[in-house]
Amino acid sequence: MKRFLPRTLRSQLTAGLVALLALACLAVGVTTVVALEGFLVSRLDQQLSASAGRFAASLEHEAQPDADNQPDTRGQSEGTFGARLLRGTPTRAAVVRDRTDARVPLTADDLRALAGLPTDGSGHDIRLSALGRYRVNAVEGDDRDVLITGLPLHPVEETVHRLEAVEAVVFCGALVVTGVVGALWVRLSLRPLRRVTTTAARVAELPLASGEVAMPAPVPVADPRTEVGQVGNALNRMLGHVGNALERRHASEERLRHFAADASHELRTPVANVRGHAELALRHNAPVPGAVRRSLERIQAESERMGRLVDDLLLLARLDAGRALERTPVDLTRLVLDAADDARAAGPDHRWLLDLPETAVTVVGDEHRLHQVVANLLANARVHTPPGTAVTVRLATDGREVRLAVVDDGPGIPEAARHEIFGRFVRVDHHRSRAAGGTGLGLAIVEAVVTAHGGRVALHSHPTHTEFTVTLPRSQ
């Protein structure tokens, strides 16, 4: 039932207007029909009272059928019914036809209806089997008999039905015209509200999560005293607040991005110097105490790790700034094979499986960065799953897209961490040390590189199944 109800405000207002008019037409129609029928019936009662039972009284002379004793039909309208009852039994019943009387056969139901009429001289409705509905009254005669006179209700019914037909046609036309004109008027009245809706829809489609956002122009408000004008003013104020907040957020992101880029760039040289001096000290031929050697090895390892972190931060800063990547044909099949070989060498205690198409899959992009995407996904599967876990790399084409999936049967990713898994410096296992667990930028780099290639990355995970899916546009 709800499926057929109007949903939009415009249709609801139009339907409400038409429904109210229909109720008003129904009330007017019922009132006029009842009033007209009552008026016409009262006129019949007046005619019956004026006749004073003259036609019915003339029927008592039926037993003496001479010229002077014939029923008096003068002044009686066509269809006038008359009956005389003596001790509850009709002596004769007739109806006026062509200024003469004609006998009327009466059934048992007719006799009971006539005998049950009160002799109060007021009008009553009865139905005679041979004649139909009649308006009759009964009065006492001079011979203690009952004289019944009636007039047909057919003319009244015909007039009432004609009025009903005319009202139905007029009211239906009025409803149709009102519905069309009302719909146009409501549409015109709600035009400012449509502008508000359009503006709100445009704001909802804007990428508000990051980057600079161009807010739409304020909604023009014609009359702030109306409800639609008040909604427009409220929307404009909200757009102003949202725009200011987005500008402050974008400025803060820009400052943070410039800081990360500048800091990463400035750190590359001192980190490289520290690592170079550590390597040089380790290569010195003079004997070095064991504790000093271990310290130098730790300095070298941490400087290498810090160098990778600086490179990752600098890469993210460049991608955030929209730095263009290389656009060359890349054999993604060969790239997956190389990355899988590297992962197998780094994690021999895992089972590495490949599901690749028979023909080579080629995309257009930056080969080095795409290799980094695959390597990061495989390293993520190796680091965060126990030994013996099966890791499968699938590569397939789907129309104009290429799908790369890395699937493992490990313990899965907790649901609370899935929504922020591609964030920066996000670590699912907070108990894992930085040295063992990486920097927390691997998946952030994956998403940034894939997005820069016009693709997308998705995660589906539950216990015993985790799948990262990278979708890239195919080469043309």
Domains of the chain with bracketed CATH: 1-51+154-189 (no CATH), 54-152 (no CATH), 206-323 (1.10.287.130), 328-473 (3.30.565.10)
Segment 26-50 mean pLDDT: 89
Q: What is the pLDDT of residue 145?
A: 82
Higher local confidence (pLDDT), 209 or 290: 290
pLDDT at 458 over 50: yes
Q: What is the pLDDT of residue 259?
A: 66
Q: What is the pLDDT of residue 101?
A: 67
Higher local confidence (pLDDT), 425 or 113: 113
Segment 28-36 mean pLDDT: 92
Q: What is the pLDDT of residue 430?
A: 46
Q: What's the CA gap between 11 and 7, in Å, rounded?
A: 7
pLDDT band at 258 (very low <50, low <70, confident <90, very high): low
Segment 61-68 mean pLDDT: 47
Segment 69-76 mean pLDDT: 62
Q: What is the pTM of this model?
A: 0.49
Higher local confidence (pLDDT), 155 or 268: 155
pLDDT band at 391 (very low <50, low <70, confident <90, very high): very high
Least confident of 158-172, 276-290, 462-476: 276-290
pLDDT in tens, 352-382: 999 998 888 888 988 888 998 999 999 989 9
pLDDT band at 406 (very low <50, low <70, confident <90, very high): very high
- pLDDT, mean over the chain: 80
pLDDT band at 114 (very low <50, low <70, confident <90, very high): confident
